Amino acid sequence: MIVDYYSGNERTRVDGRRKYNNRPDHVRCVGGFRSRPSNSSGTKVMLHVNDTIRSEKSDNRNVVAFRTGSWNGGTTLQIDVGGGGRILGAGGDGGKGADNENERGGNGRNGNSAIGLAYPVTINIASGGIVAGGGGGGGGGGGAYDTDKNDDELASGGGGGGGAGRPSGSGGRRGNGWEADGQPGSNGSDLGGGSGGDGGDEEEARGGRGGNGGGSGSDGESGERGSGEKRSGGGSKGQNGYWLVTGGNSYNLNNSGSANGGVNGGGYS
């Protein structure tokens, strides 16, 4: 039984068993079967991916783009990711830059994950195929303040960069002070993290730079501390999503492509 994730459409947060049950026109029967059996026991089911499957934004790292769903005992299940296949977790948003020396930069958000298992599986990733957790967002930069007899100087922090993924993380907003403001972070892309924005520069007071967003399956960077007589710290980095969340199920991996982000043995959402 070959379940169609290859016919040219981008899909969001799919479930292999649900499609098998509800879309018989998307299940190709090969060999001696005349039609798709409702009980999959004794069959080999191939979830064949040659399109892009994406997640949706969530700070929960165990949210996944592609769910196997549960299968009847005795099913031989495999996921085949072709050379044009991409299964991508969502990227985390970058943190906001601090407005002043009394607040920290905002924390980057976490990326989430690619594949979640509810049944033992063999995973084959062909050359050119990509399975990746989303990158974490960068932390926002801290603020800074300096005073002398002639002038008060205030600089706000830069926004953190968005993490890689689909959807990718948005760059964090710049801090908003009354003198030198930082710059916003840039958005991530499918596979690359966005850059953190520079902090504002008001001579002796300098806002911290926002951290860069993480690339595929990588943490973001923490935001930098401001520099001046008084200063605040940058926000914490967002963590990466996983390429695989096993739910305690066994798997075999044959990988000629890319699997980025590590493995988590917990359950998926």
- Consecutive H or E run containing 20: helix 16-22
- Consecutive H or E run containing 17: helix 16-22
What dihedral do alpha carbons 223, 224, 225, 227 form, nearest 10°? -140
Give the burial class of 128: count Cβ atoms within 10 A of its Cβ; 0-12 exposed, 13-18 middle, 19 or more buried.
middle
Cα separation of 3 and 55, whole Å?
19
At residue 26, the 3 state secondary structure works out as: helix
What does the pLDDT look like over 183-205, one tens digit per residue? 999 999 999 999 999 999 988 89
Cα 216 to Cα 65, 126, 169: the distances in Å are: 14, 18, 11
Residue 176 has, within 13 A of its CA and on its CB side, a CA count of 3
Backbone phi, then psi, for 245, in 5-degree steps? -115, 115
pLDDT above 70 for 34:
no
For residues 151 and 23, the model is more confident at 23
- pLDDT at residue 32, rounded to an integer: 64
As a whole number, the mean pLDDT across the chain is: 95
- pLDDT at residue 150, rounded to an integer: 73
The mean-pLDDT minimum among 48-57, 148-157, 255-264 falls in 148-157
Q: From the CB of residue 253, how many other CB atoms can be counted at a distance below 10 Å?
A: 15
When pLDDT is cut at 50, 70 and 90, the band that residue 31 belongs to is confident
When pLDDT is cut at 50, 70 and 90, the band that residue 33 belongs to is low
Q: Stretch 141-163: mean pLDDT, rounded?
A: 92
Q: Stretch 115-134: mean pLDDT, rounded?
A: 98
Q: N- to C-terminal Cα distance for the chain?
A: 26
What does the pLDDT look like over 90-100, one tens digit per residue? 999 999 999 99
What does the block give as tokens for 28? 């190709």
Structure letter (DSSP) for residue 217:
T
